[in-house]
Amino acid sequence: MKNCEYQQIDPKALATPSPAPTPSRPCLEKKPKRLKRKWEVFPGKNRFYCDGRIIVARQSGVLPLTLGLILVTSGLFFIFDCPFLVQHLTSCIPVIGGVLFVFVVISLLQTSFTDPGILPRATPEEAADIEKQIDNPINSSSSYRPPPRTKEVVINEQVVKLKYCFTCKIFRPPRTSHCSLCDNCVERFDHHCPWVGNCVGKRNYRFFYMFIVSLSFHTAFIFGCVTTHLALRSQGGNGLVFALQQSPASALELVVCFFSVWSILGLSGFHTYLVAANLTTNEDIKGSWSGKSGNEESGNPFSYNNIFKNCCSVLCGPMPPSLIDRRGFVPTEDEVRAIPAEMELPSIKTDINMEGDCLDFALSFAS
């Protein structure tokens, strides 16, 4: 029998299996913070829909009324008047009414849901830099100091004053005004229209003008067709009372169109005058270029002195981009700290050239 030798084994020499890593609990992991978009922290009094794609004023309660009046009046016309007029006159009436109706609704929605030309507010650093420039003007002599909170620029050989906005902390560019209802500075501010639920400015004025012009044609067209409808029904000795009994909806349309067509036609004519003169409602009311506000110069520096050129400048020019970047992301604290402190602050540059039939206003950001 063979001798078996036994060798003692050191237990420390044995390879101990490494402990398996404990699975991390999902609840203990830090969830990344959701990046906010700029429309979520927008300082103005506006409402945003569709992730910031649609912007309206906060006080937009009259807009549903405007849209409702248009839809109800047009619906009654297409349901009760068009069949009779097609049978007795021509089939072109509903086609013309439908085209006008589409123009009215599309232009209304574009006016209401478009950024009118809101200017971004200054950051605290930019506001502090502007305050330094106001307190210590660079190009000021000992004999003359400009009035506080104002700047002067020359446009078409005419001096135009730029006023300082205490809310937005910026010097307002020419033709810019601060809307108290929306709490924003709007470029080429015309007026705040409660019927469309938005300000009317540089970026949506052409839509507003198309809206009131198409609405005036649409209202006058319905008024004429309803009157013709009732006149045809009252023929043969039946009388107007019989016609109203046969089509009571036409009476409602007639009342609504009668009381609205005159104001809409007057508004369209007024804005046609403004477009031809390259004026805004705000400038016309204040008399900015007519001597009512105390200005010695009475000429409009933004006018081309030509009706056709003024109309093309206001209605047919390229659509300026939106400056508030409402769908952009708010920078995080790390990104803000990474910005060098020596970086120059934004400066507003006015570049208006009236030669060669060109009028431009540009905001350049020096960095």
Average per-residue pLDDT in the chain?
A: 79
CA dist 270 and 191 (Å) reads 13
Backbone angles phi, psi at 116, to 5 degrees: -75, -5
SS (H, E, C) 299-362: CCCCCCCCHHHHHHHHHCCCCCCCCCCCCCECCCHHHHHHCCCCCCCCCCCCCCCCCCCCCCCC
Closest-CA residue to 155 (of 363, 344, 315, 361): 361
Residue 345: predicted pLDDT: 39
Closest-CA residue to 100 (of 200, 193, 212, 198): 212
pLDDT above 80: residue 92: yes
| Catalytic site positions | 193
Residue 273: predicted pLDDT: 95
The first and second tokens of residue 88, run together, are 């007795």
- State the pTM of this model: 0.78
Residue 154: predicted pLDDT: 86
Q: Check residues 98 and 144 and name the one with the higher pLDDT.
A: 98
Residue 20: predicted pLDDT: 55
Residue 243: predicted pLDDT: 75
Look at 108-122, 183-197, 272-286, 347-361 and tell me which has the smallest mean pLDDT: 347-361
Place of tokens 């319905």: 222
CA dist 301 and 45 (Å) reads 32
Residue 103: predicted pLDDT: 95
Look at 68-82, 201-215, 341-355 and tell me which has the smallest mean pLDDT: 341-355
pLDDT tens column, 301-349:
888 989 999 999 999 989 999 998 888 888 776 555 555 544 443 444 4
The first and second tokens of residue 283, run together, are 């400038």
Residue 63 amino acid letter: L
The pLDDT of 61-89, averaged and rounded, is 90
**Averaging pLDDT over each range in 32-41, 44-53, 168-177, 210-219, which range is the top one?**
210-219
| Secondary structure (3-state) at 1 | coil
The first and second tokens of residue 17, run together, are 């299996």
Residue 250: predicted pLDDT: 83
Residue 367: predicted pLDDT: 34
Give the percent of the chain with pLDDT over 90.
Answer: 34
Look at 7-11, 249-253, 327-331, 351-355 and tell me which has the smallest mean pLDDT: 351-355
Residue 223: predicted pLDDT: 93
Q: Where are the domains of the chain?
A: 38-137+147-294+302-327
Q: How confident is the model at residue 210 (pLDDT cuts 50, 70, 90)?
A: very high
The residues near 204 (Cβ < 8 Å, ≥ 6 apart) are: 110, 111, 114, 115, 116, 117, 198
pLDDT tens column, 155-191:
887 888 888 888 888 889 999 999 988 999 999 999 9
Contact, 67 vs 108, CB < 8 A?
A: yes
| Cα angle value 135/137/141 (rounded, 5°) | 120
The pLDDT of 279-304, averaged and rounded, is 77
pLDDT above 90: residue 119: yes
CA dist 58 and 182 (Å) reads 7
pLDDT tens column, 222-269:
999 999 988 888 876 677 777 777 778 888 888 888 888 899 999 999
The first and second tokens of residue 163, run together, are 């006023």
Residue 106: predicted pLDDT: 96
Strands lying side by side in the sheet with 150-155: 150-155, 158-165, 170-171
Residue 341: predicted pLDDT: 44
The residues near 151 (Cβ < 8 Å, ≥ 6 apart) are: 161, 162, 164, 171
> Is residue 254 packed enough to be buried (19+ CB in 10 Å), middle (13-18) or exposed (0-12)?
middle
Look at 24-28, 30-34, 284-288 and tell me which has the smallest mean pLDDT: 24-28
Cα dihedral 300/306/309/315 (nearest 10): 60
Q: Check residues 360 and 129 and name the one with the higher pLDDT.
A: 129
Residue 278: predicted pLDDT: 93
CA dist 206 and 316 (Å) reads 8
The pLDDT of 210-232, averaged and rounded, is 92
